[in-house]
Copies of this chain bind each other. A is one copy, B any other.
Amino acid sequence: MITLDTLHPSLGDPLLTSMNFLNEIAGRYPDALSLAAGTPHEGFYDVEDVHRALRRFCDHLRTEDGRSEEEVRRTLLQYGRTKGVIHDLIARQLATDEGITVDPEAILITTGCQEALFLTLRALRRDDRDVLLAVSPAYIGVSGAARLLDLPVHPVAEGPYGIDVADLADRIGKARVEGLRPRALYLVPDHANPSGLRMPLPVRRDLLDLATAEDILILEDNPYGLFPLDGDRLPTLKALDEAATPRVVHLGSLSKTVFPGARIGYAVADQRVEDGPYLADVLARAKSMVTVNTSPIAQAVAGGRLLEHDCSLVRATEREAAHYRGTLLHLLDGLAACFPASGPVRWNTPAGGFFVVVEVPFEVTPEAVETSARDHGVLWTPLHHFYGSTTPLRCLRLSCSALGRSQVNEALDRFASFVMACSA
Residues of A within 8 A of B (CB): 1-4, 6-11, 16-17, 19-20, 39-40, 42, 45-47, 50-51, 54, 58, 70, 72-74, 76-80, 111-112, 114-115, 118, 122-126, 141, 144-145, 147-148, 245, 255, 259-263, 271-275, 279, 282, 285-286, 288-298, 301
Contacts and interface: CB of A to CB of B under 8 A. Distances in A.
Contact of A2 (B16, B148, B271, B290): B271
Contacts of A77: 42, 45, 47, 50, 259-261
Contacts of A255: 79
Contact of A1 (B11, B124, B263, B275): B275
A47 B72 contact: yes
Given A125-B8, A272-B2, A297-B261, A289 B114 contact: yes
Dominant secondary structure of chain A at its interface with chain B: helix
21 contacts: A2-B274, A7-B126, A8-B122, A8-B123, A8-B125, A8-B126, A10-B285, A10-B286, A11-B285, A16-B285, A51-B51, A77-B259, A79-B261, A114-B290, A114-B291, A122-B148, A261-B295, A261-B296, A263-B292, A295-B295, A297-B297
Contacts of A46: 73
B78 A260 contact: yes
Contacts of A40: 78
A292 B114 contact: yes
A41 B419 CA distance: 61
Given A47-B58, A262-B295, A295-B295, 19 more contacts: A1-B274, A2-B279, A3-B274, A8-B125, A16-B286, A16-B289, A19-B288, A42-B70, A42-B78, A45-B77, A47-B72, A77-B260, A118-B291, A259-B297, A263-B292, A263-B294, A263-B295, A263-B298, A297-B297
Contacts of A286: 8, 10-11, 16, 148
A126 B58 CA distance: 45
Given A50-B297, A148-B289, A7 B273 contact: yes
A76 B47 contact: yes
B80 A261 contact: yes
Contacts of A261: 76-80, 295-297
Contacts of A7: 123-124, 126, 273, 282
